[in-house]
Chains A and B, each alone.
Chain A
Amino acid sequence: MKYDFIVIGAGISGITSAITLAQNGYHVALLEKTNRTAPLMRGFSRRGVHFDTGFHYTGGLGTGEPLDIFLRYLGVSDRITSFPFNEDGFDLFSCENPGFEFRFPTGYERIQEKLCEAFPDERAAIRSYLAQVRTTCATIPYLNLDLDIDPTGALQRVLGQTVRETLDPLTGNVLLKSLLSMHSLLYGVSCEEVSFAQHSAIVGNYYESVRGIRGGGLSLARAFDTRLAELGVDVLCNSEVTGISTGPGGVLSGVQLADGDSLDCRAAIATIHPRYVLDLVPEGSFRPAYRKRLGNLEDTVSAFVCFATSKKPIPALAGANRFLIPDPESIYQLDNRPIGKAPLYVSAAYRDGDIEPHGFIGICPALFSETAPWESSRFGNRPPEYRQFKEQALARMQDQIERVFPDLAGNIQSIEGSTPLTIRDFCSTPLGGLYGVKHMVGQFNPHPATRMPGLFLAGQAVVAPGVMGAIISGFLACGTILGHDLMKKELKACC
């Protein structure tokens, strides 16, 4: 049997691609190497508390906003229930030295007002920064459906100024610069590397509105499963792709699977890490220059992550995340501080059906090299020294959280964690990058079209990390195949 399209990888970008192509009448197979779709999005449960590993909150999900339109187009918006995060403070910036707190509200006007209250001498800088975010955010393809898709438009996010280069001339206030850069934790690239355009495309949506999904990423994953089944997409789990086959003219003709099977297709979209794509294509199908570019892409920082359950509910975390910032400069680089001195992000975890959280997840950026001594180990065969190292890392995270968040001291019931090694193995990123490939000034990330006819790329490396970035990357890949005008027309019909 021959498929029209095969999509490799059933993360959000793969699911988006498969749904889009199936909705356009094509016969599609969606291949996933693990035993279920969207494993990262699903998260896991401990002691009745659900921990999200891939989705914590999002911008752009308010009625009529981009993500709301995208989910309607994908046929899942009626299957999930979203809720607003605290409009007066969806994120709490909590700086230890100097002691300073700021609750980030939603809505540009309110953000401006509250920032100006906190930094009365910096009104001009604040206005200029917010105005620039607002105009730049609207120039990203598909976020703005009236915009023409220019394949070289992405260059702005590669050649433009960094966030730091944009902020430095505006203000000398280190605390303000740190506060405006704190959301770099949401995409894993420091303000000294990320372009202002990329930063704006991500934070601009959060500045408009912030929402969560009841039941977390798991609800979204289940909604996608239902939709895929409804459309007749062949979802093949435990199907690892080990090679891509080509026919005359080097045109893609199918894929080979780990179990020895092969599937034929007209074209394929690979949503895996671009470096792994190099292992799949036959020798000589990419020119050395392109092969090197994909092979040398730098990944985002990795992380230590803790998952804690609490004895009592933690109402303070409901609808509001915390950014624990040891000192303002700690946000400038994300990869040079040990736990305790590095920024730490804390987000709520809920028991099924509860409104008040009964646990939390903490994320602290870290280098993969910290776990390098055990890099040859895999799930289930980690040595005792590694487990000891992990326990110590968790204890240090717990110390930092309790130090800044005294109401949690004595309230933690259980704590588990993951390290850069866990992320490497669970997220299939070669060096445990928390958000896959970096989007930074000077690094040319891949475009959906590749040098092999019939092979297209999607995934966070192409556009941006997060649900929004993954979905847009799926649209860009499908738009490259079906025509961007058609895609935009279909999306506009969902506005």
Chain B
Amino acid sequence: MTDQEIIEQINSSLAEEFEFDLGEMTPETTLFEDMGLDSLDVVDLVIVLETAFGMKIREEEAIRKIRTLGDIHNFVINKKRQMESA
């Protein structure tokens, strides 16, 4: 998967599962202010990403630092790269 494909899959999964408008989703979009998510939604976010990419996300710290959609893109891309090189 290219980085662009990963980003597209993240955006489409989140748009579907959280009922966001794909057109309004940019890397700068903040999850909490712009998209209206709260700490409870983080759990659902993790599950959506785990399901979409068939991976287990156990690093609580990295997840807690996520603020924008771009942070999610980078997190998943890094995670995918780690899995591929492992």
Contacts and interface: CB of A to CB of B under 8 A. Distances in A.
Nearest to B16: A288
B18 interface: yes
Interface string B8-26: 0000000011110000000
Contact of B56 (A292, A442, A451): A442
B48 A289 contact: yes
B56 to A, nearest CB: 7
For chain B, the bracket of interface size reads 10 to 19
Nearest to B51: A292
B47 A447 contact: no
A449 B40 contact: yes
A288 B39 contact: no
Given A152-B39, A444-B47, A289 B60 contact: no
A449 B17 CA distance: 19
Contacts of B47: 289, 292-293, 444
A315 interface: no
Contact of B58 (A152, A159, A289): A159
Contacts of B41: 287, 289-290
Interface in B40-86: 40-48, 56, 58, 60
Contacts of A263: none
A293 B42 CA distance: 12
Interface in A282-308: 287-290, 292-293
A155 interface: yes
B20 to A, nearest CB: 10
Given A151-B40, A444-B47, A288 B17 contact: yes
Nearest to B43: A444
Contacts of B18: 287-289
B44 A287 contact: yes
A293 B18 CA distance: 12
B15 to A, nearest CB: 10
Interface string A449-477: 10100000000000000000000000000
A159 B44 contact: no
Given A288-B16, A289-B18, A159 B60 contact: yes
Contacts of A290: 41, 44
Contacts of A293: 43-44, 47
Interface in A140-175: 151-152, 155, 159
Contacts of A288: 16-19
B9 to A, nearest CB: 15
A292 B58 contact: no
B76 to A, nearest CB: 16
B17 A292 contact: yes
Given A293-B43, A293-B44, A293-B47, A287 B17 contact: yes
Given A287-B19, A290-B41, A293-B43, 7 more contacts: A288-B19, A289-B17, A289-B18, A289-B45, A289-B48, A293-B44, A451-B40
23 contacts: A151-B40, A152-B42, A159-B58, A287-B17, A287-B18, A287-B19, A287-B41, A287-B44, A288-B16, A289-B17, A289-B41, A289-B48, A290-B41, A290-B44, A292-B17, A292-B47, A293-B47, A444-B44, A444-B46, A444-B47, A447-B40, A447-B43, A449-B40
- State the 8 A-B residue pairs at the shortest beta-carbon distance, nearest first: A289-B17, A289-B44, A444-B43, A288-B17, A159-B58, A289-B48, A287-B18, A290-B44
Interface of B: 16-19, 39-48, 56, 58, 60
